Amino acid sequence: MKFSLVLVAFLFSTGFATGRKNKNFGGKKGKTTSTAPTTTEPTTTEPTTAEPTTAEPATAEPTTNGIEVLDSGEQADILFMREEEKLARDVYLTLFGTYNHRVFSNIAKAEQKHMNAIETLINTYNLDDPVVSDKVGVFTDRTLQGLYIDLVTEGSKSLLDALMVGALIEEIDIKDLEEAIVDSDQSDIDLVYDNLLEGSYNHLRAFVRSIERQGAQYTAQLLTQEEVDEILNN
C-alpha cells in the first residue's frame, strides 16, 4: 500500500478538506535521552581459528520465457498503479457528469491511456490484473474504494472543490510514481512510469490553470510547495 494514499485516506477520515490542510501534520519531533555512565569490566579473549569457507557461485535473477521475474515490490507497484490510474479516471468521469467541465473529460481520456500502459506491463510480466470490473467506482483495493467515495463527495461541493480534488489526485500520482521509479530495476517499467509522470505533471498544470480561472490561488496539498512550484513553472 502506498503511503501517500494511506495518508490521504486518513486525512479524509479525520475531516480533511482539500486546499485547507494543516501544513504541520505528520511531523516527528526529535527527543533527547540521558544515559548513566557505565564501567566496563576487563575481559580476556580466547584465540580463535577461522573456519575455511567456500564461496557460493553467483546466480542471476530467474527468468520466464526470457522475461525477468519481478520482485514483490515491483509487482505490487504495477498492480497498485493500475487501480490508482483507474481511480483518477473514474473520479474525473464522475465529476465531468456533475459539472460538464472539459478539463475532467480531457484528463479522464488520458487516464484511460495510463491504465492501458500499466495493463501492458501486467500482461508482459504475467500478473493478475486487479481491475476485475471496468465499471466506474468499482475497485479491488479497499482503500481506493473508500477514497473514490471521499473524493467524489468532496468534489461534489462546488466546481472549485472538484478542481482541487483533481489537483490532489495528480499530486498523489506524482508522489507514487516517483517512488515506484526508485524501486524499479527494469528499464521497460521505468519508461512507462516516466511517461505517466510527465502526463501527471501536465494534468496538475491543467487543473491549477482551471483553479486560477476560478479566482483562487493554488497551494500544494500533498507534495511540498517547492515541488509543486517547480512543476508549474516548467
Q: At 205, which CATH number?
A: 1.20.1260.10
Q: Which amino acid is at 44?
A: T
- Inside any domain, residue 50: no
- Inside any domain, residue 19: no
- Inside any domain, residue 41: no
What is the Cα gyration radius of the chain? 23
pLDDT beyond 80 at 132: yes
Which residues fall within 8 angstroms of residue 139, CB to CB, at 6 or more apart?
Answer: 83, 86, 87, 145, 148
* Other beta carbons within 10 Å of 168: 24
Interatomic CA distance for residues 50 and 24, integer angstroms: 54
Residue 68 pLDDT: 75
Q: Whole-model pTM?
A: 0.78
* Other beta carbons within 10 Å of 202: 14
- Inside any domain, residue 80: yes
- Inside any domain, residue 149: yes
- Inside any domain, residue 34: no
Q: Express each pLDDT in 67-98 by its tens digit.
A: 678 999 999 999 999 999 999 999 999 999 99
Q: Express each pLDDT in 105-125 by its tens digit.
A: 999 999 999 999 999 999 999
Q: Express each pLDDT in 193-232 by its tens digit.
A: 999 999 999 999 999 999 999 999 999 999 999 999 999 9
Number of domains in the chain: 1
> Would you state the cell numbers that stand for residue 31, as one nine-digit string?
527527543
Domain that holds residue 124: 68-233
- Inside any domain, residue 1: no
User: Percent of the chain, pLDDT > 90?
Assistant: 71
- Inside any domain, residue 51: no
